[in-house]
Amino acid sequence: MIALEDLNPLDRASFVSALDGIFEHSPWIAEQAWERRPFADLRQLHQTLVEVVQASSEEDKLRLIRAHPDLVGAAARAGTLTRESTAEQARIDDLTPEDIARFERDNARYWERFGFPFVICVRENKKQAILAGFTSRLRHDPATEQRNALDEISKIAWYRLKDRICEPPTHPADMDYRHG
């Protein structure tokens, strides 16, 4: 972990390195956010990163979405996911062979319909909700689904930031006095 107060003064390369993996294979987001330092808190950092994505070209947005792996896909089975994706996908447990087949089928249908992977914040959803999400989101038009994917990526980035960046408590009630 790195403290926000230590992240803010970093040079561009170190800043980008410290945020590596927050957005899947997309260091350009941190590179652009670096110019808007310093960040008062984690929420401002996250908001800035999201604004960089929102202001990016349609091509860059699609590249960002496509950088995400299929859930329970070939990369997961081959062990080639990023550290962050590996930890997140590990939360999808107790998979039966039928579940795996359904993920594979739904991933293929989703790719065929939209041209990018199904992205969902696994930390906020259990297996059944994810599978139901495939069904409901396959009904969307491509523009709606692109917005949904970017919203889910924003949530994923928030959790990854919270795992990576620590900031001092802003209120005495937030402090943990048990460890001293």
What does the pLDDT average to over 20-25?
94
* Residue 12: alpha-carbon gap to chain centroid: 21
| Mean pLDDT estimate for the chain | 88
Tokens of 5: 């107060």
3-state secondary structure of 179: coil
Q: Quote the pLDDT of residue 172.
A: 59
Write out pLDDT tens, residues 147-156.
Answer: 999 999 999 9
- Judge whether residue 161 has pLDDT over 50: yes
The stretch 129-154 carries a mean pLDDT of: 96
Say which residue, 161 or 83, is predicted with more confidence: 161
The mean pLDDT of 59-78, rounded to a whole number, is 82
**Please, what's the b/e burial string for 91-116 (b: 16 or more CB within 10 A of its CB; e: otherwise)?**
ebeeeeeebeeebbebbeebeebbeb
Domain ranges of the chain: 2-168
pLDDT at residue 95, rounded to an integer: 79
Domain 2-168 has CATH 3.20.20.70: no
Mean pLDDT of 155-172: 86
**Active-site amino acid positions:** 68
Is residue 180 scored above 50 in pLDDT?
no
Which tens digit of pLDDT belongs to each residue from 69-126?
A: 877 766 666 566 566 765 666 567 677 889 889 999 999 999 999 999 999 999 999 8
Rounded to 5 degrees, what are φ and ψ at 166? -110, 145
